[in-house]
Structure formats: C-alpha cells, structure tokens
A and B are shown apart, each in its own frame.
Chain A
Amino acid sequence: MDRTQILSIRLVMGIAIGAVIAAPVVAAPAQKPISYAEQIRPILQAKCIQCHAEKSQKAELNLGSADGIRQGSESGAVLVAGKPDESRLLEVLLEGEMPPEGEGDRLSDDEIELIRRWIEQGGDFGTDTTGPQAALSQHDVIPILLLRCAACHGRQNQEGGLDLRTKASMLKGGKSGPAIVAGKPDQSLLITKIQSEQMPPRDKLATHSVKPVESSELQTLVRWIEQGAPEIDISPDVATAEPDPLVSDEDRRFWSFRPPRRPDIPTPDRSAQPTNEVRNPIDVFVLSRLDETGLGWSPPASKAVLLRRASLDLLGLPPEPEQIDAFLADDRPDVYERMVDRLLASPLYGERWGQSWLDLAGYCDSEGVQHSDPVRPHAYRYRDYVIRSFNADKPYDRFLLEQIAGDELADYEHAEAITEEIYDNLVATGFLRMPADGTFAGITGFVPNRLDVIDDQVRILSSAVLGLTLRCARCHSHKFDPFPQRDYYRLVALLKPAMDEHDWLKPTTGGAGNAAGNYRFLPFVTTGERQAWERHEQQITAGIDRLKAELEQHSGDEKFQEEIEQKVKAAESQRQPEPLIRALWDRGQPSPTYLLQRGDYLHSGRLVGPGVPSVLTDGQTPFRPEPPWAGSTKTGNRLAFARWLTQPNHPLTSRVMVNRIWKHHFGRGIVETLDDFGRAGSPPTHPELLDWLAVEFVDNGWSIKHLHRLIMTSATYRQSSAVQPRHLESDPENRLLSRMPVRRMEAEVIRDSLLAISGRLDLTPFGPADGVEARDDGLVVSKPGPTGWRRSIYVQKRRTQRLTILDDFDRPQMSPNCVLRTSSTVAPQALHLMNNAMIHELSLSLADRLLASFPEEEERQLESLLRLTTGRPSEDELPVLSESRNQLRTEWHARLSAEDSSSDAMELSREANRRALGNVCHALMNSAAFLYID
C-alpha cells in the first residue's frame, strides 16, 4: 500500500470519525464557514507554535501567521486551498507525524477534522491579513527575474542597457525606457514584452540556457507591479549573536561537535604484554582496549615485511632489492625509524598520498556529463600542487586555507610579480572546481544544472573536510543531525560570490584557445612561466615575420612561396597554448541566496546569508566576512570560512583528517564512517586516541608527516598480520587492532609496481596528463613515452575513458568524489593479469632486467625476482621456481626450434631461456605474494 492510499484511507477514517463526533455540525443544512481567527488559529497556537513560530521556524515553517502558512515549509506548500488530501499540514496530522512523539500534545480528532474542513472550504484567512492574496515584495519577483532574464539583463550582460536585478535598475530601465511603472502593469515594458512573447526571445532560449516565463510567474510580476512594486527591507538570515533556535546547547554537546581535548594517557597493565614494547602513546591507547578483552598485540612483523609494508604505504611502490639488502644488513637500533624518515623524504611520497586527496577532491581531467566529455587541459596544475604540498609537508591548515580561499590571500591582480606562492594560492582553488560539469553547453547549462554543480561542491567540502552529511539539508532539515535547511543555504551563500548560478562562468572555452570572456581561467601563472611563454611566442612570431619578409622579396616564385608557406605552418604549429590556471575566485556582487523549498529552484523561500553550521559554533559569534585587503571588491566569504575551519580547536577539521590518515595505514578509521561524524555515523572505536591524535596533529603545526611518523613507528603498526584463532573469537573484525590487516594493493599501486619492477616506470613528475586511448575492443590503455609509462597519477582521468587496469582493480568513479574506496576480488582481475598484452610485455622486460643484472647466474636471477616482487629473500620458493623454469625452457625450446630450425642454436637457447624466465616473472606478477601486503 503506498502513501497516497494510506492517506486516503486515513482520510476516510478521519471523515468517518469526524462525522460521528461532529454529527450535529455536518447535519446542519448549510455548512457554517470555519473561521481561521476563531477556530483554527487557537489550535495551531496551542499545539504547533512551540516549534513553528516566527522565530523558531522548524523546517522553515511559521504557523504563527497567515503569511507564514501561505509561505509553506522547506518541503513546499503546506496548505492547498480546497484540497485537504493534498495539504501537507493535514497529512502530518493524520499520519501522526506531528507533533512528534514526546514534543507536545497530539491534536484531537475533532481538531484535525476541523482543520480538514477549513481547508476543504478554501482555507480562507478571513480578515487576518490583507485578503486571500498576500502582499508581495521584491523578494517574490527577483528570483523570477534572475531565472528568466538575468542571462541578458544581469551582471554579465545588459542588453539594451537594461539590468533587471533590482527595483532601482528596473525603474531606471534601458534604451526603451523604464522596465516597470509602479501600479501599472499594462504600461510596464517588463510585462508587455513577456506577454507578447517577445521576451525572453525565442532564438536565444537555447544558447542562453533560459526557459520562458511561466504564466504563474507572470501573474506574480503583474501583481507586484499592481501593488506598487513594494520593497521591504529584510536582512538575510545570517548567524548573529543570537543563537539559532533550532540548534540547542544539547545538540552542541554531541562528541564530535565539541573541540577535541588532549586526554590523559592511560597506564596499561604491562604484564599482559610480554612481546612488544610500547613505543609511543598510540600503543598505550590501543593496548588499554586490547587489555580489556584479554587480547594482546600480535608479535612484531619481520624486518622484510615491515620494509615492504612501509614502502607500499608511503610511496605506493615496493622497495628495490638493494634497499632490502641494506635494510636487512643494518642492525642499528633505529634502523626502522631511519627507513621511515627516508621514505617520508622521497618525492614519490607525494605521488602516493596526493592521490588520496585527489579522491576526496573528485579530481578528473574532463568535464563529463555530455557525450563530448571535454578535457580539462589546465587541471593538472592542481594535481601537481597537491603532490608538491604533500611532499613539502605543507601544514594541513594552510593546505585547506589555500584550497578554499587561495584567491583571497593576496592581491594577485595588482601584484608586481606572480610569485610561486601567489601561483600556488590560485591553483589550489581548483579544489572547488572538480565536480562533473555539463554547463559548458547551453542545453546542460540551465540554472538547475548549475545548482547541481554547486551541490556537488558543497558535498565535496562537507564529506571530505568536515566529515558531515550536510547535503541532506538541500531539500529538508537533516533527519539525524542538528542541521536546519538554512545551514546548507548558508554554505551556498558563502560560495556565491565565486559560484553564482545567475552569473555563471562556463567551465571550458569549447576548444577555442582564447580564454577571454566568462570562463574559469586566470592568466596568473608565475611571472617566470608567463615570460618564458611570451618569449617563446614572440620568437615564433618574429620567425614568421622574417619568413614573410623573405616571401615579399621573392614574389612570383611559386615554388619558393610554397616552401615558405610550409615553413610558416611548421612555425605556427610550435605555438603553445596560453598557460592558464583553472581557478575559482570571488567576483563580488553576488546574487541574493534564497532557501529553496524541497531543493526546487522554482520555489524560493526566505533570504539567507553566508554562514557556517550553527551547531559547530557557540551560537553567539556572528559570522562576519570582511574584504581581504583594503580596496578589494571581494567579499572575503571563503577566507572567513577557511579561517573558521582551521582554528586549532575546530571540533571536526583535525579529527576528520587524522582519522583519514589512520584509515590509510590500518585499513579502517577510528571512526569507520570517514565522511559521517554525525549521529548516524559510527562512534569511534578509540575515542581518546582520536582526540589525542587530533590535538597532537594541531600542536605539531598540522604536520601530516608527523602523523605518519607517529603511526608508523608505533608498535601497533609494526605487528604481524597473522590471524590467530583467539583473534577470531575476541576481535574478528580487528576493530581493536590486535594485528595488522592483510591488504591488497590499490589499483594505482598495482600498475605502478608492475612498471617499477619491470624497469619500465618513467619517474618524470608533473605536467600535462599522459593520454589514454580506447581500443576498438574496448580496452582503455595509456600511451607510453620513450622510456616507459609514468605513474598512474599522471595518466589522464577522463570520465568516459577509464584506464582498464585501474578500473578492474577498483579505482573509484568520482560521484562527485570518493571518500572510501571499495576493494573487490573478481575474475576480470585474474583475466587481466593473465591475458593482457601489456602485463605480458612487462614480464619480458622484467626477465630482461634480471638477465642483464645477473648473466649466467640463474639462482640469483630468481632470488632477485622474489625480492622484487615479494620483498622477501625467501629460500624455500626457489626450488619451485627453478623447477618450473626448467620445464618452461624445455617447452619453449621445442616450440622455437619447430618454428625456425635454421637459426643459431645458441640464439635459440637464449631466447627459450628468456621466454621461460618471462613466464616465471609473469607467474609472480599473478601471485598473491606480490599483490597483497602483509
């Protein structure tokens, strides 16, 4: 039975009950009109007003006045005159949803029936207000004009000199005169042009992503002008010194909404732990939980296992054989700590950990949405920025500040020179430009499409940085957490000076090189890069000028002319596109932000200003953005937001990040739901450890490398991954960290490691992405350079062409980002490793590498192979490999001599040997010992 059926049955019952109880009334020949003022208002005042008054407005609903009832709630209209079964007000009463359990007395059946009949009779408010139609204001018409007219009469264009964004500008009008005449709709050009279907012009609808004015919208415009185009002065709802009535102090006491506090380090019972030393406070916290269950740590893993674990964790690449030998031979007491430091200092680290941040940001090298899936040629600068930031151990607070408000940190437009720092600041804002975005095309560039892009961005911010599920509040107040709907729109308002659906910047130039116009590119690359490019272009221009001058001297000589033209063409092809930054910046003068009922762009509610979720503040500190520097036209919205976010005692920022780092090392977060620290999320398994790490993180300058070092040098991290029967009994899911988990390499790590051990990995960092190619059979492959393939982070991430090997091994799709990767074990992975031509080619490269390193030393070749692939100098597998190799060699020899009996016997043996070793390498590439991390 669906909802409408339930409703109708309840309605029938309601009517029946009403009929019995209110029989005398019903029996009366003429139904007496029900008075809002005398009969309905008292009920609402008694039973509903507690939560739905002018001030509190829970669910954005004010039942305290006729206007409030007409305005509806965050879910839209609550009263549909004459139609009780379509009125949400009645539905929630009949379904028993309201008043909520334990929050006030239910309405009696009589009262509900009275309301039903009142609605049935037309829901008239009598003399309570100005009549059935409420007074309108500019806030009823501005959303319509922005939606239907601002594309040509707004911020970016004022066709005919007309700007329709404010009443003043409407009165001022354009070339044809004022757009409105107060009180006279039929003399207002605004109305007559729309009525005659001249506006919006039919031939511009598609190109400007505008829909015609709806008749109900036209009526609103007419009525507003009829009423004299009244304006009212309401200030947007921003956080003020007065606490938000919808968020209580009790809400603020939820664990993750309170600032973390450095806890005391417990004293564990040392007798329970005979094998491992406690190495740092992490161990004490972990051990104290393990002690509770009688479980201890697992024994420490071997040195070889630790080296491989640490290398793959930090660099995403296995250790080289020489590194293994050196590490195993080194018996200094701090050899492990030195190794961790060496890995942290490697430039390969940023390429591994940068990827985890790019997952959060939703990084892609194309726009998606449309079939054409346009490439983002400038996006790589952001990717490089992230890698460099991780390598430099940029403090996390600074890292966030740059990505959220980099454009408000320095006056780049008036800077004498664009320094590396200014450049980085601007590139960093690419973080806010990552969602799939079809607004480059008119047909997928309408206002609702733009709102979806903004929504994705809010979602990225809230899931990645805040660890919250704020997007629920786009359509309604959050069901579990104390986020009223306005909290969502406050964030939207905060972004609006840079992301304004009524003043939209398109994501691509559609292939044209010139980025002038309303696109998302800034030319402020470093002065050095800019000058180098300009010099380069000037040289080409000068060269071409010379050629043309020569041509003039030899006019008439056709052959010579052709030759020169060829040379000019060749010179032109050397031109480089202008270096640009794909950025986001505050442009001042944002459109007003209205709360949208049910998230529907056609139903604007109250005016909202920038702010942060109230529950994360004390409720009494106003959110006050200020222009970032004197004379700036920027609002400073995002700067204020970023500064709030990176306060040392912010309840979420540090906790969310340390939890994420922890997850990448241990396979599970202390809070398992990495993107939900709210009430519906998982509670932390080790709350004190989480807080200790968070405070330690901030106290050490938000250093991510400090966290890695702490975690990786703990005894907890150094445990063996062997599962013991007692683990299955007391800690089956390893929530208590009684061992390390066995993990499969992530997609990029598999590909990079295969390339690395084969000697085919090109370690050139940075720069434009390497192209991919979709073969006819559907396989998507990356194009190699002269010395091999680059790391996966440098391969183009096109939404429509996903590299097959990464796809097969669970590289996530961005929708809009990925907070937590899943890992599957399926047959296509086996098929890929067994049958794919590139893997096969790599196995032969690996064989060649081994043969070249240890000519004639078969055992050392195999030993080295084991070291490369599994990190262990394991003795007992050698005979197995050796035996197979001999069999394979015999098989290859027979095959090769059958194919070509004429060739040199030596040559044939060599090739059979090479092929056989290639097969052994291929087998190791297919082995769990290679793909899994102990």
Chain B
Amino acid sequence: MTSHLPGPAAYSRRSFFDHLGHGVQGAALAALLSQDVFGSDLSSRGEARGSSRGADLTPKQPHFEPKARAVIQLFMNGGPSQMDLFDPKKELDKNHGKSWFGKIAGEVESPNAAGALTRSWFKFRQHGECGMWVSEALPHIATCVDDLALIRSMQTTNLTHEPALFKIHSGQELPGLPAFGAWVAYGLGTENQNLPAYVVLDDPKGLPVNHTQSWQSGYLPPVFQGTRFRSTGSPVLNLTRDFDEPDAVTALERDLFMRLNRRHRDRRSHQPDLDARIASYELAARMQLSATEALELSGETQSTLDMYGIGSEPTDSYGRRCLYARRLVERGVRFIQLFIDFQIWDNHTDLATGLKSACERTDKPIAGLIQDLKARGLLDSTLLVWGGEFGRLPIAQLPADKDARKAGRDHNKNAMVTWMAGGGVKGGVTYGSTDELGFAAADDKVTVADWHATILHLLGLDYEKLDYPRNGLKERLTGVNHSRIIRGILA
C-alpha cells in the first residue's frame, strides 16, 4: 500500500519500513499501519462500523486528486477587524460619527457600549500586481498579496467567542464535536507515522478560548485528536521520562517488557491488536526522536530565522511556531494549527493600539512563512488558512468612560475576512464583498461550512462523502445541509 501523494523522500513509508528496528516484526507494523487492524475482530469499535474511512492513521486515498497535502491553520482568536485590515470602506469614512445602532441592535453583543459609525484608524493602499487593498497595519503580509486569496464575504452564525470558535473549529456551535483537523486526519491519515497527524502549536502564554477543546476528536476515535507540541522543553506530553533513571536501566527494562509482550502475543495468534500494541511501542520510541528533531532549530540559517522574526521582539515566539510549522510540513504532518496568546484580536476598546500590536506580533512571521514555503517549493502543496472566529462591527464600542478616542469594535457574525494561500489557491484574488459599511457580507457570501468544504476539496476530499456514522446519522464536518465550494479562489 503506497500513498500516491508526493511525500518528502526522507520520510516516505518505504524508508520507514526499511528502517524497522530489531524489536518489531514487519508484519506487526504492517498490521498497525493497515486498516485491518481495526476492522477485523475488534468489536469495541462498533461505532466505527460502516465508517467511510478506517480508525487509524495510515495514509488514505483521497476522493480525488488533491491540490494540497497539508494544512497550516493560522488561527486568529478574537475576531480580527475586517475594515481595519483588508476591507476599506469609503462610506464608513463618509458617515463617520453617525448613529447606526438602531439598525443592527440585535447584532451587538454589548448594546450598552455601542457607539456611532467609526472609520478605520488605519490607512489603506493597494499592493502587488493584483492591487489588493491592505491596511498599513500589515506591511509584511502586504508584500505577499499576489499569493493570497482574500475572502471578504465570509459569515458565521454566532457572535460570542465560545460558540463561534466551536463553529469555526468543528462546524457546529456546541462542544464535544470533532475538530476540523481531526476530520482531516480521519480522512487522509498521515504520511509520517513517527509524528502525530494533527499537531497543535499553542502559545505558551495562554490557550485559546475553548482550551484544548479546540482540537478535540469529539465522537471520532481519539486517535484523530490534535497533539500539542510545546515550544520549550519536551514537545509532547510524556515524550521523555518524567523521572530520573540511567539510560542503561531504561534499555534493560524496555527489553524486558518487549520480550514479555512478544511472548504474550506469540501465544495468542490472530490478535492484530496485540501486534499493533507492540508496534505502538516502537513508534513511541521513534516519536521521541522525530518530535524532538522536528522542533530543533539549530540547523536553520540566520537568514531564515530573521525572515520569521526569530530572535527579536515582539515576533520571536510566534515566529518560532511558524518555523516549526514549516518543519512539520516538511516531515509529513497533515494538519498544523497555530494559536497566539488567548484572544489578542478581540479589540473591544483601544483598537488603534490593540490591533496594531496583534499585527506586529504576527505580520512578519506569517510573511516569512509564506516566503519560506515558496522558496522551498512547498507552498504549492501546502494550504495556509488565516482568520478568526468572526469579524467586527462598523460602529464603535465605547469604553466605560465613553471616550471615543479609546474606542474599539464589538463582535460581528455577519461579515468576517479570511484568506487562504498555497496549494490549489489562486493568488491575488479578492473574493466577495461586504455592504457599503462593511457590516454584512453582500456578494458571494461564504459560510463556515463553505469554507470547510473548500479546504477539504483542496485536500482531495469530498465534504459530502467524508462522513462518520453515529446515532443513525452520517455525521459530517459541514452538517446535513449542502455547502458550496468557493470556486472563485481556486487556481
């Protein structure tokens, strides 16, 4: 069984088999890596019965030829302000200071703090050959616009962080459902069994609003949930010994339990789960090496580090995670999700400074990632998706003292801006539009389900076929209704 996907040579499955250690038999590993492990007589997986994919991480055939083989989700928790970043509004400038609350009262989270229509604090200019409008807050990303497909007309369904986060991460507003990355891991498996299929690079400064629920597997088997890689210390939980012991002792003990396990298995023929378990210990040992190596930046050149803003503030922390993302893509990880410090884009007040600071922390690292992927020929097969959980309102949100100079903007579910770049995406496109004031998507509206369906599409997955049977329903990321592939941004 070989994947037809172009994988990095050094980590192909072939070489993986070639380098099998002495402790595990090829057959056992093959058992672990084959869908049969989970489909034969293991009755405890009843719920996976009839599922369209297996319950393991072996590479799966996509439904059709994919354009991208990996996704990097640059998640911007808090709701970046569209009319201050990517969606300039002349009418908003003209109507600055006019009252407008009455027209949108039901769409305001904090009605008591609502102010008048407020123009952007930032100047806009056209960039690149395509002439895409970007505000002065994002000078580095502005240099990459010819690689971006900007979506101005996206909408979501809830204007509160938690449900909106669940929506963007799992397709529905409620907790307990599989994250988008878990669906991708379920649909495609992964190319490098020594690393998790779905890696989460969260910020040591703070988890996103829904904590670890942002990368859960929900009702999908737990094997598909996101694995957090920490930026400092041991990258994965329990990856290294959490106690003091000489290596020679560890090796002796390991020999002992592997001998015991093999004896146990040899007396029980036709029990693939026991083979799989033995193989899982081999994989664990490999993961110890691979995960540590993946986050090791000492081999990167100074110019690469500079490109990401590593070594200088305020970009060092996020820059590292962007560079880790590239290294993980190179090593065959399927889905990488980057977070930054709780919800820095939630600029209810002091938007002028708050938004600027959020941009300063992320702008250069993201531009660096795009350029680096491009230079290495990886951008064609890697899909970058940028965006938050919702957008913001054209009216001001006032602080307690009602000082309009310190105003920000409240949440807005009717319009949000996102962009994609890389595998299968047409660069330099500005897709869809909002109304004159930027309050709501107007033309070519894009729902969260459309957005999910499009990303799956670029990965070679049909959103209507990627399903999982549960309680009488074939569950899907996009829910029961029809979605639309955003054709206008496809290359």
Contact = CB atoms under 8 A, between A and B. Distances in A.
A205 B45 contact: no
A830 B242 contact: no
B212 A828 contact: no
A205 B284 contact: no
B223 A826 contact: yes
Interface string A825-856: 11111111011110011000000000000000
B257 A923 contact: yes
B105 A680 contact: no
Interface in B240-257: 240-243, 246, 248-249, 252-257
B112 A884 contact: no
Given A452-B174, A742-B268, A820-B46, A923 B260 contact: yes
A777 B101 CA distance: 45
Contacts of B230: 777-778
A514 to B, nearest CB: 26
A733 B162 contact: no
A835 B239 contact: yes
Interface in B289-333: none
B176 interface: yes
Contacts of A808: 222
Interface in A875-920: 877, 880-881, 884, 887-888, 891-892, 895, 915, 919-920
A267 B163 CA distance: 59
Interface in B344-359: none
Q: Which of A197, A373, A923 has the most CB of B within 10 A?
A: A923
Contacts of A799: 175, 213
B199 interface: no
Given A463-B471, A777-B234, A929-B264, A734 B176 contact: no
Interface centre among A469, A667, A841, A891 (most CB of B within 10 A): A891
Given A742-B274, A822-B222, A678 B252 contact: no
Q: Which of A674, A820, A920 has the most CB of B within 10 A?
A: A820
A262 interface: no
A875 B127 CA distance: 78
Given A825-B277, A919-B253, A668 B47 contact: no
Given A436-B175, A816-B176, A929 B260 contact: yes
B243 to A, nearest CB: 4
Given A676-B471, A777-B233, A668 B46 contact: yes
A443 interface: yes
Contacts of A841: 243
Contact of A834 (B270, B278, B284): B284
Nearest to B108: A205
Nearest to B253: A919
Given A815-B175, A827-B287, A828-B237, A928 B265 contact: yes
B110 interface: yes
Q: Most B CB atoms within 10 A — which of A443, A471, A807? A: A443
Contacts of B234: 777
Range, interface on chain B: 35 or more
Given A822-B47, A825-B37, A800 B112 contact: no
A828 B242 contact: no
Interface in A1-53: 2-3
Consensus secondary structure, chain A interface: loop
B256 A884 contact: yes
Contacts of B163: 369, 438, 444, 449
Interface string B196-229: 0000000000000111110011110111000110
Nearest to B272: A825
A723 interface: yes
A891 B249 contact: yes
Interface in A397-448: 436, 438, 443-444
B159 to A, nearest CB: 8
Among B43, B241, B263, B270, which residue has the most Cβ atoms of chain A within 10 A? B43
B102 interface: yes
Contacts of A463: 471
Contacts of B263: 877, 880
B246 A810 contact: no
B49 interface: yes
A924 interface: yes
Contact of A831 (B106, B218, B221, B284): B284
A743 interface: yes
A800 B268 contact: no
A819 interface: yes
Contacts of A725: 270
A436 B176 contact: yes
B32 interface: yes
A232 interface: no
A206 interface: yes
Contacts of B238: 779, 804, 828, 831-832, 834-836
Contact of A734 (B32, B41, B162): B41
Contact of B246 (A840, A895, A922): A895
A171 interface: no
B261 interface: yes
A251 to B, nearest CB: 16
A824 interface: yes
B283 A927 contact: no
A825 B276 contact: yes
Contacts of B246: 891-892, 895
B177 interface: yes
A286 B61 CA distance: 39
Contacts of B176: 368, 436, 813-816
Contacts of A212: 105-106
A765 interface: no
Contacts of B49: 672-673, 682
Contacts of B473: 469, 472
Contacts of A733: 40-41, 43
A683 interface: no
Contacts of A929: 260, 264
Contacts of B276: 825
Given A777-B234, A825-B276, A829-B280, A443 B268 contact: no
A206 B260 contact: no
B55 A824 contact: yes
A667 B242 contact: no
A602 B134 CA distance: 38
B41 to A, nearest CB: 5
A892 B237 contact: no
B42 interface: yes
Given A810-B222, A815-B219, A444 B253 contact: no
B169 interface: no
B281 interface: yes
A816 B177 CA distance: 9
A371 B161 contact: yes
A629 interface: no
A728 interface: yes
B109 interface: yes
Nearest to A824: B223
A205 B253 CA distance: 64
B221 A824 contact: yes
A872 to B, nearest CB: 11
Contacts of B341: none
Interface in B104-136: 105-106, 109-112
Interface string A462-498: 0100001101100100001000000000000000000
7 contacts: A369-B163, A370-B162, A480-B472, A778-B237, A822-B222, A831-B284, A915-B249
Task: List the 10 closest A-B pairs by CB distance, nearest first.
Answer: A815-B176, A469-B472, A668-B43, A830-B284, A837-B242, A723-B270, A923-B257, A667-B43, A211-B106, A827-B284
Interface of B: 32, 37, 40-49, 55, 57, 101-102, 105-106, 109-112, 160-163, 173-177, 209-213, 216-219, 221-223, 227-228, 230, 233-234, 236-243, 246, 248-249, 252-257, 259-261, 263-265, 268-271, 273-274, 276-278, 280-281, 283-284, 287-288, 471-473, 480, 482, 484-485
Given A778-B212, A815-B174, 4 more contacts: A475-B480, A742-B273, A835-B239, A836-B238
